[in-house]
Amino acid sequence: MTRRFQAAVLRSYEDPFTVEEVALCTEPGPGEILVEIAGAGMCRTDLAVRRSAGRSPLPSVLGHEGAGVVVATGGDPGNGLGVGDHAVLSFDSCGHCRNCRAASPAYCDSFASLNLFGGREEEPPRLTDAAGKALAPRWFGQSSFAAYALVPARNAVRVDPALPLELLGPLGCGFLTGAGAVLNTFAAGPGDTLVV
Ligand SMILES: [Zn+2]
Ligand SMILES: [Zn+2]
């Protein structure tokens, strides 16, 4: 089934994003989920694509801290997520390198290639523009500047449905990075003071 929806497409390193119709010509495969996006943050990493010296392929749908509702799964996605769950989306990782096996997926050996410089190879392309021209494989495992995102379930975390879903996307990058610096690198604890 082909799903058509709106997305913000970046077509050149100089031009602004254009909101246009795109087509997703696949259902979720094993280990993947389809998420109807409720909101996404705009992070400096989305803007840094313009300074990537051409290594981030275009045209592309960016967006790497999205949040939304799971609307389809490719069988059992393997991390307890199911249709109707609210989820926050974060970066992609391979799941089998030394650092992924040591529970440090942020240091995945394939982090740069999976997230920044091309994504997982797709042949034939799964996301195209309205004319059928390929868009770059998903950015940071999600491409969430769009009404729907096809995501490896290992990038997604279920969240409390009582929370305002449209505001939770930055938990997937901005807050995650800041909290990691404070809690892990600074090892700040209760009662400590710090300047942000
Ligand atoms: Zn970010
Ligand atoms: Zn890995």
At 39, list the tokens: 């909101």
For residue 47, report the distance from its CA to the centre of ligand 2, in Å: 25
For residue 61, report the distance from its CA to the centre of ligand 2, in Å: 23
Q: Assign 85 a pLDDT band (cuts: 50, 70, 90).
A: very high
pLDDT tens, position by position, 68-84 = 999 999 988 888 899 99
Tell me the ligand closest to 99's alpha carbon. Answer: 2
How many Å apart are CA 175 and CA 181, to the nearest integer? 10
Mean pLDDT across the chain: 93
Indicate the domain borders of the chain. Answer: 3-185
Q: Which fold has domain 3-185?
A: Quinone Oxidoreductase; Chain A, domain 1 (3.90.180)
Give the dihedral of Cα atoms 44, 47, 53, 55; nearest 10 deg. 90
Q: Assign 130 a pLDDT band (cuts: 50, 70, 90).
A: very high
